[in-house]
Amino acid sequence: MHKDTLTGSRIRERRIAQGVRQAELARIAGISASYLNLIEHNRRRIGGKLLLDIAEALGVEPTHLTEGAGAALIAGLREAASDLPDAGAELDRTDEFAGRFPGWAAALVATRARVAQLERSVEVLTDRMTHDPQLAASLHEMLSTVTAIRSAASILAEPGDIDPDWQSRFHRNIYEDSARLAETSRGLVTYLEADNAQATETGTPQEELDGALEKAEHHIPELEQEADVAQVMTRLGRGLSSAAQSLLRSWLERYAADAKALPINELATALTAHGADALVLSVALDQPPTRVMRRLAAMPAEVLGDPVGLAICDASGVLSYRKPLPDFPMPRFGAACPLWPLYKALNRPYAVLSADLVQLGRSGATVRVEAQATPVGPPKANADPMFEAHMLVRPLPVSREPAGSSEDVGITCRICPRANCIGRREPSILSAQ
């Protein structure tokens, strides 16, 4: 039912909500109750002075009766319905539901957003609990200390006399180990209660690099103007460890080379003409697809429009660069889903692989990905090349259908509900959906 035919339903809901009788509203509007009844059941169109009179009687703006719920609310309801396709939601009556029950509609949309947020939190925390090196080291330290305390205590508890000197040593060991255990416990609790920024600051060099790039939103305006990398290092590298600064410098040097080879104004012009398809842009700009992918990931919102994500991995499969999307998160620790085209590209160097993917356990949004693996460094005689894979992730517009059948993938095996997956490395904590 089109929204302009639902004015009557909105009048009825407003009238009932305000406790106004149908006959009373008809009298104020100067029409019969039977005619108002036809209007409220959408059997008579309404407009002009009559609409203004009824809106004034109900104390609302006329547009609230004619336009109904906002587009964002209706879109949110449709997304909520797409999350549960087996529920049988009446999509053709979404606008009617939002117009008649805007409060319930808003509550449903807000609940869906809250669920999505909690899902992302579970994914991040599970990933952190499974692969976080600092957490693993802290737990190992705690277990070792507890074992030492128990060993010393068991010796003291054994029957028989113990030499006073040895007894004093065991007491001192228990005291020192207890103090170390308390300190480790406090540090662990502080770390677990820290927000993401604090956790990143105390993490690995790769995490420090990820945090610095996230703060910069992956865009370095100075390097677009061919500024010196050392100047940018002074701004972005402040507070980073020496190892993280080394990673950052390498990334900035590559960024500067990409910006020089493919200036932002040329890419912006090509984006307007061709869209964000990496392969199409590669042909139009005569640039390698991987460079185009990196440049797209570095573009600000005013140039790019819809955001894109990018994952880069080395031959070991570990992500050396990650720019996730809300509908396509990427693991902070460990390897990602082996079904990603990112890894398939390593088996098919130079070929550009394109696919439509849906991450299980998410909102069900389809994304378009393009991946390619290329050699790292110059070729060497009698030496096999080392390959690096790129994967660009783009949201698939709602108005466009997937190019083919989309493939279900996960984030990591630990939090993937896909059953009977040939690529599974470890059991999932989630039940199959």
Please tell me the pTM assigned to this model. Answer: 0.58
What's residue 432's pLDDT? 44
pLDDT tens, N- to C-terminus, the chain (433 residues):
444 556 787 788 788 878 888 888 888 888 888 888 888 887 787 877 888 888 888 888 777 677 655 666 777 787 788 777 777 788 777 777 776 777 788 888 888 878 877 776 676 666 666 656 667 677 778 888 888 888 888 888 888 788 888 888 888 889 888 888 888 787 777 666 654 444 444 457 888 888 889 888 999 999 999 888 998 998 888 888 888 899 999 999 999 999 999 999 999 999 999 888 999 999 999 999 999 999 999 998 888 888 899 999 988 888 889 999 888 888 876 678 889 999 999 999 999 999 998 887 655 678 899 999 999 988 888 888 999 999 999 987 654 555 557 788 888 877 777 778 888 877 776 654 4
The residue assigned the tokens 């009179």 is 53
What's residue 362's pLDDT? 53
**Residues written for the chain:** 433
With contact defined as beta carbons under 8 Å apart, do 299 and 267 qualify?
A: yes
Q: Report which of 393, 406, 418 is spatially closest to residue 338, judged by C-alpha positions.
A: 418
What's residue 69's pLDDT? 53
Q: Report which of 325, 379, 322 is spatially closest to residue 349, judged by C-alpha positions.
A: 379
What's residue 312's pLDDT? 94
The strand pairing partners of 353, in sequence order, are: 371
With contact defined as beta carbons under 8 Å apart, do 65 and 51 qualify?
A: yes
Angstrom distance (rounded) from CA 109 to CA 101: 12
Q: Report which of 221, 364, 230 is spatially closest to residue 302, judged by C-alpha positions.
A: 221
Q: Report which of 241, 258, 251, 262 is spatially closest to residue 216, judged by C-alpha positions.
A: 251
Angstrom distance (rounded) from CA 372 to CA 350: 6
What's residue 295's pLDDT? 95
| C-alpha dist (Å) from residue 54 to 13, 20, 46, 369, 433 | 13, 12, 10, 52, 49
Angstrom distance (rounded) from CA 244 to CA 83: 40
**Per-residue pLDDT tens digits for 105-129:** 888 888 887 887 777 667 666 666 6
Q: Phi and psi (nearest 5°) for 288? A: -60, 145
Angstrom distance (rounded) from CA 170 to CA 167: 5
What's residue 223's pLDDT? 93
What's residue 127's pLDDT? 63
What's residue 345's pLDDT? 94
In Å, how far from its chain's centre is CA 149? 44
Structure tokens at 188: 């662990």
